[in-house]
Chains A and B, each alone.
Chain A
Amino acid sequence: MTQQKTDYLWIGVFAVLVTFAIPWFLWRDASTWLGLPVWLWWHVGWMGLASLAFALFARGAWDRGMNVDPEEVGFDG
């Protein structure tokens, strides 16, 4: 995959993470699971997913996004 494609991919991922941080498709839904609203479980899962996505981004595209070489900032990780 070219670098530019990677950039667009990450922008897309971030956009999806932002858009569904509030589960709009559950609007006015009051169903519960294990005593808590279903939308709250969505929130918990979504934050987990976001954390995973952020970790992958930090590993693969972090310096690329700022146009720096890892050596330049004295660290690669």
Chain B
Amino acid sequence: MAESELLVQLGVVGAYLLVALAVGVFAYRLTGRDAEDYYLASRSIGTVVLLFTTFATLLSAFTFFGGPNLAYGAGPEWILVMGLMDGILFAILWYVIGYRQWLIGKFQGYVTLGEMLGDRFGSTRLRALVAGVSLFWLFPYVMLQQMGAGEAIVGLTNGAIPYWVGAALITLFMIVYVVLAGLRGVAWTDTIQGLFMLSVVWIAVVWVLTNAGGLGTVSSSLADTKPEFLALGGGLYSPQWMISTAVTIAFGVTMFPQINQRFFVAKDARVLKRSFALWPILVVLLFVPAFLLGTWAAGLGVSVPEGSNVVPVLLNAYTPGWFAALVVAGAMAAMMSSSDSMLLSGSSYLTRDLYRPFVNPDASEEREAWVARLGVAAFAIGTFVVSLFRPGTLITVGDTAFGGFAQLALPVMVALYWPKTTRQGMLAGIAGSQLYYVAHVFIPSITLGGVTLFGATYFTWDFALYGMALSLVLTVGGSLLTTADADERADTFTVGSRAD
């Protein structure tokens, strides 16, 4: 690649990231120092910002690079999985879990999921368990962003800039950003970046189609080279796989710290309602073009080098270098803002649910703020180091994290709606399903008497689904078998006084 082109690309990427940083610094000047403002922007987030900040948080390396890679390798049916998962299931959970949490949070003033459950069940142990589990699964997901950024830079520059530089760059920006900005800054950049990515992905589609000879040509070359891609299903895409993936990810997403904390931040119910109805539209607008790009790349015979992503390679082949750089910069910035949200929420879990209750109950606000920032830096550096070992593809790493979070979702739903839920039931449901899930992630599969244990599936269905069922059985069963202690306060979750 020409030296000058490389310089242009790096200039575009660098400039974009600096602009994103400037927005954060500006928001920082508006952010108060207290926790409600730093973590929740004083519960004052409006429709557009809430919609895009939640959306941008989903707009991670998983969707932006992992999705097209999957479409490139296995066909575009991933669009349907994302549609079911994000457009429908997540929207329904947005109401069922999100609105209820918003109501409870508004009346009780909660900031984190662990705090809400800990208070309701009179248990700091439960609070710590929820926070600990969340931070554990957050680790691979933050790592995913660093892997995505590293691979993006490799793909963009044809390997002139090595993987670790991209990963290190995003780590650095992430830390600086979170330490400075707080939720207001994160939400603002999320909105700008969400809008930017949405426009740029459509421009990319038009540009690629124009330079490749139009939709007709692209479509017929796909039909010639990859006829299998046009037919629904087949190969990787079995009904079991599509359903399992959509269900575990949709439920998992609701328990992500950065998403779950969004359930507390809406200004009023109208904001939640509008976001709910607009959600499926946004899903179509973003995912259809993004995953079609990956699909078309396969039809056009674009070859993707090992360890890089299809989107930058495709754009390099069919659009000018600066545009490819702009898309990659936008995607990196989007990943950065996803990571910022994650780290920000993670730091509130760390300080409020672990540090304060267990280590130093009398810590000053200032000291707590320092612990939060140091925690963010340590966490991001840890994920960076592990990301250098490339422990799996973007999709596998993401899927593992989502599955881990999904194990929390059903116990939380039971607690939100069933007043007879007890502390013992919650502890059993969460701890039991986590043990089951962690064992399946880390223990290699073994076959005993014709039955495979710890494999990826049982009877062709993903093991994560059985974990979710287990969490439900343990929570409900445990609650039925035990009685609530005096300090369990079911009334904190009672919302509404309207008689039936």
Contact = CB atoms under 8 A, between A and B. Distances in A.
Given A26-B232, A27-B232, A58-B276, A18 B496 contact: no
B200 interface: no
Interface string B278-301: 111101100010001000000000
Which of A48, A59, A66 is packed against the most chain B CB atoms within 10 Å? A66
Contacts of A43: 79-80, 83, 284, 288
B103 A66 contact: yes
B84 A22 contact: yes
A47 B103 contact: no
B367 interface: no
A22 B280 contact: no
Candidate in A26, A35, A54, A63 with the most chain B CB atoms within 10 angstroms: A54
Nearest to B232: A39
Interface in B221-252: 223, 227, 230-234, 239, 242-243
A29 B231 contact: yes
B498 A44 contact: no
Contact of A75 (B219, B230, B268): B268
Interface string A9-38: 000001001100111101111101011110
Size range of the interface on A?
35 or more
B263 to A, nearest CB: 13
Q: Chain B interface mostly helix, strand, loop or mixed?
A: helix
Contacts of A14: 92
B: contact size bracket: 35 or more
Interface of A: 3, 14, 17-18, 21-24, 26-30, 32, 34-37, 39-40, 43-44, 46-48, 50-51, 54-55, 57-59, 62-63, 65-70, 72-75, 77
B436 to A, nearest CB: 25
Given A23-B232, A35-B215, A58 B498 contact: no
B178 to A, nearest CB: 31
Contacts of A37: 76, 230-232
B277 A51 contact: yes
A24 B284 contact: no
B497 A58 contact: no
A50 B91 contact: yes
Given A24-B239, A30-B231, A34-B215, A58 B281 contact: no
Given A18-B92, A73-B106, 4 more contacts: A47-B280, A50-B87, A75-B268, A77-B268
